[in-house]
A and B are shown apart, each in its own frame.
Chain A
Amino acid sequence: MPIDILMPALSPTMEEGKLSKWLKKEGDTVTSGDVLAEIETDKATMEVEAVDEGTIGKIVVPEGTEGVKVNSVIAVLLGEGESADAAAAAPAKAEEPAKAEEPAKAEDARSEQEQPAAKQTVPAAPKAEIAADPDIPAGTEMVTMTVREALRDAMAEEMRRSPDVFVMGEEVAEYQGAYKVTQGLLEEFGPRRVVDTPITEHGFAGVGVGAAMTGLRPIVEFMTFNFAMQAIDQILNSAAKTLYMSGGQMGAPMVFRGPSGAASRVAAQHSQCYAAWYSHIPGLKVVMPYTAADAKGLLKAAIRDPNPVIFLENEILYGHTFEVPKLEDFLLPIGKARVHKKGKDVTLVSFGIGMNYTVKAEAELAKLGIDAEIIDLRTIRPMDIPTVVESVKKTGRCVTIEEGYPQSSVGTEIATRVMQEAFDYLDAPILTIAGKDVPMPYAANLEKLALPSVQEIVDAVKAVTYTA
């Protein structure tokens, strides 16, 4: 069978081009890789190489022809023992390629393929059923501990449980952690599993992802998430997307953890909340706990999770103490919000350090006779909107509280979703309290102004409950 040589496309958007020059003539023998012709578009000139071997039987489109449609026959190649007569059977219409409206064979094949696709509708995003928190058996001993200790215990327990779990990062081993979160781990697990890295975030994040792709379970500690900006390509493009790009063959079962958000007086480059940033990315889970119990239960769950989990801690919260149930294996579900305090007049939604302002504001509101319900989101992605919606259906009012920047914030996401899912239940606009839209200033007074305040929350609640 003679082989049709077709006008190639230089890019998926090219529709036609000029056949500027033939470098072979009829009767010439060609082998794979030989340059047959040059074609030109408004953007580039390209060579057409032979893919098959044979003899040029017929040149269908003469050089200098403009507007040659992609996939129209430009020449006919004869195999061994084939005659030019066979080539004569080539479609004569191709001599006026600019007018060739009949699609070439390949286009036929393609459009057939695309037809079913055109009828396809966007499938619904799957809804994951997330279990409720486990019941704490009556009589369970509660231990008072700091968030820092809870995080350390979570890692130690999971490292005892699985030899595939290891922790790596700057100063995690011999220095015992820049914020002492990894204290004691080196002594118990040794340098093979508690790995001090050089100051090289982009590099060690990539090393962690590579190790995770083989099935190990790295915990990559960033001294702060501000420094993870250097590594964000590996987090997004390698860790979050590999499972999808590989058609489910391999992913990155790992945890990236460390403090996020403002500490105190460390200025613009060290004071930024990353909750909204990472919550934008499909393929990641994003956790930001407030209490020590949540920190422990959720970090243990994150380490066991087969997906990459961003675990956002807070330097100020590290030293806060909470009650943690003394249980053999205390795990909490990622993706489930916790009703921190029940109430009926307004729903306050917060997470992480934002909860610090929220619980104080709730106490102030109680004095004013306002009974606020507090929802601690705990996980930013997947976001437990049903719990928020249920609450808003009861209270009719909602205020969100976070330290991050106001535009495209976690609060604006909550406001959008609640507006869409519970519009008829709302008695007032949803207000979103966030950090101010400025780089974090250093001066003590300006820093205080840049962060949310208890008074702002109280004022917002008064506004939405029309009690101002």
Chain B
Amino acid sequence: MATRAKKSPARSAQTSAVKAPKPAEFTKDQELEAYRHMLLIRRFEEKAGQLYGMGFIGGFCHLYIGQEAVVTGMQMSLKDGDQVITGYRDHGHMLACGMSARGVMAELTGRRGGLSKGKGGSMHMFSKEKHFYGGHGIVGAQVSLGTGLAFANRYRGNDNVSLAYFGDGAANQGQVYESFNMAALWKLPVIYIIENNRYAMGTSVSRASAETDFSRRGISFNIPGFQVDGMDVRAVNAAGDEAVAWARAGKGPIILEMQTYRYRGHSMSDPAKYRTKDEVQKMRSDHDPIEQVKNRLVEKGWSTEDDLKKIDKEVRDVVADAADFAQSDPEPDASELYTDILL
């Protein structure tokens, strides 16, 4: 007990030492980079939704529309070799990591040119080259795995960090806290990014979580955390810079609660009856991550409407090319059924 009493103040001091940074103004180049990346994800997902509706994409398809600022801002804080892992709502993360739109879309349609040769689908894609470790369909499993990526970095003695993304729903899984404990105990360089989009499938945060401030979920493990406006890519990036610096410096894990919103249902077959249309409309009209950047670019005179239309056109072309490829690429050869099971 004596030891505990002694340690307590020092620990809480460390936890409270980390404060959410103020979003820094972006340069013109940063704004344009963010605009292009977010727009790519938005247009890609809209096209994926359309192809799903046409029957080209089967099974589950979880769209990232509305949450684009989170991966875009975080990715701008990383350096080469830093790893990313996430759950099943993963198309945006893969595009943000630089994986090809063709490869992702062809995986969605189950074709041989897909990133997993058509054998993984929407929820399971990986890229060794881009340090993207999936793409996981079991809610919360990526948190332990992402902690393992950080374990590997520390084992190898490099200064890379891993980003483990999960949702407000996954935040209630037991293995998340098992991972928090080990990450804090061993001071692993992992950044836990809780994408709080307010609904775990159809269950709102307040109906599923006793503590709805997810940035506080690491307190028992002395893991600092803060809440971030996940609709503002500048706020995300500022938080990302802070968190990455913290983890890279060997200070251990850190939690970022990204307050975000998904415009679409949980999956394609979700009519989203658990929330009002007004709520969705208000987020879209007042907080849209892409519109925010667009407005700043125009207001500051950095881009004209025509400049932005040109970017829009380029992005649409990338997506259209990906969609064409994903529809024309052949299905995997039957011989692929038995490959990649064992090495």
Residues of B within 8 A of A (CB): 42-43, 46-47, 49-50, 52-56, 58-59, 65, 83, 85, 114-120, 124-128, 133-138, 141, 143-152, 155-156, 174-175, 178-179, 181-182, 185, 263, 265, 268-271, 273, 284, 327, 330-331, 334-335, 337-343
Asked if A204 is at the interface of the complex by the 8 Å CB criterion, the answer is: yes
Q: Which residues of B contact A441 (CB under 8 A)?
A: none
The answer, among B152, B185, B284, for a CB contact under 8 Å with A214, is B152
Give every chain B residue within 8 A of A121 (Cβ-Cβ): 334
Q: Known contacts A121-B334, A247-B116: does B50 contact A210 (CB below 8 Å)?
A: no
The reply to whether B135 and A245 contact each other, CB–CB distance below 8 Å, is yes
Q: Give bound CA distance, A211 to B152, whole Å.
A: 5
Select one of B120, B334, B340 contacting A123, CB under 8 A. B334
Min CB gap B128→A, angstroms: 5
Q: B263 — which chain A residues lie within 8 A by C-beta?
A: 33
In the complex, the answer to whether B144 meets A203 with C-beta atoms within 8 Å is yes
Task: Assess whether A8 is in contact with B53, with CB atoms less than 8 Å apart.
Answer: yes
Count of chain A to chain B residue pairs whose CB atoms are closer than 8 Å in the complex: 215
How many angstroms from the CA of A282 to the CA of B338 in the assembled complex? 10
Q: Nearest-CB distance from A35 to chain B (Å)?
A: 8
Residues of B within 8 A of A245 (CB): 116, 119-120, 124, 126, 134-135
* Chain A residues in 8 Å Cβ range of B117: 247-248
Q: Which residues of A sit under 8 angstroms from B335, Cβ to Cβ?
A: 123
Asked if B126 and A206 make an inter-chain contact with CB atoms under 8 angstroms apart, the answer reads no
A207 in contact with B341 (CB, 8 Å): no
- Confirm or deny: A209 has a beta carbon within 8 angstroms of a beta carbon on chain B: yes
Residues on A with C-beta less than 8 A from B152 are 210-211, 214-216
From A71, A113, A116, A198, name the one whose CB has the most chain B CB atoms within 10 angstroms. A113
Contact of B46 among A49, A192, A203, A234 (CB under 8 A): A49
If A211-B149, A246-B124 touch, does A6 touch B338 (CB 8 Å cutoff)? no
Contacts A12-B58, A113-B330, A202-B174 given; indicate if A209 touches B120 (C-beta within 8 A): no
Residues of B within 8 A of A90 (CB): none
Contacts A207-B151, A209-B145, A251-B343 given; does A10 touch B181 at CB 8 Å: no
When chains A and B are docked, how far (Å) is the Cα of A208 from the Cα of B146? 10
Residues of A in contact, count (CB < 8 Å)? 74
Q: Are A33 and B340 in contact (CB under 8 A)?
A: no
Contact B268 A207 (CB under 8 A): no
Do residues A250 and B342 form an inter-chain contact, with CB atoms below 8 A? no
> How far apart are B325's CB and chain A's nearest CB, in angstroms?
13
B342 touches A120 (CB 8 A): no
In the complex, A249→B339 CA distance in Å?
12
Residue among B124, B148, B284 with most chain A CB within 10 A? B148
Tell me if B's interface is mostly helix, strand, loop or mixed.
Answer: mixed
Q: How far is the CA of A419 from the CA of B137 in the complex (A)?
A: 39
Q: Is A123 within 8 A of B337, CB to CB?
A: yes
Chain B: CB-nearest residue to A246? B126
Question: How far, in whole Å, are A44 and B272 apart by their CA atoms in the complex?
Answer: 9
Q: Which residues of B contact A48 (CB under 8 A)?
A: 53
CB distance from A223 to the nearest CB of B (A): 16
With CB as the reference atom, state the residue of chain B lying closest to A12. Answer: B58
Expressed in whole angstroms, the Cα–Cα distance for A308 and B229 within the complex equals: 41
List 13 additional A-B contacts (Cβ < 8 Å) besides A71-B54, A233-B141, A251-B343: A11-B269, A45-B273, A46-B265, A70-B55, A125-B338, A206-B145, A206-B179, A210-B147, A237-B137, A244-B119, A249-B116, A250-B128, A307-B342
Q: Are A210 and B146 in contact (CB under 8 A)?
A: yes
Residues from chain B with a CB closer than 8 A to the CB of A208 are 148
Q: What's the least CB distance linking B143 to chain A, in Å?
A: 8
- Interface positions of A from 133 to 171, Cβ below 8 Å from B: 166
Answer whether residue A414 sits at the interface, using C-beta atoms and an 8 A cutoff. no
* Contact, CB under 8 Å: A213 / B330: no
Whether A9 and B54, one on each chain, are in contact in the complex, defined by CB atoms closer than 8 angstroms, is: yes
Docked-complex contact B338 and A249, CB < 8 angstroms: no
A121 to B335, CA, bound (A): 10
The 9 closest A-B pairs by CB, nearest first: A210-B148, A206-B144, A8-B53, A203-B178, A247-B117, A210-B145, A246-B126, A247-B116, A245-B124
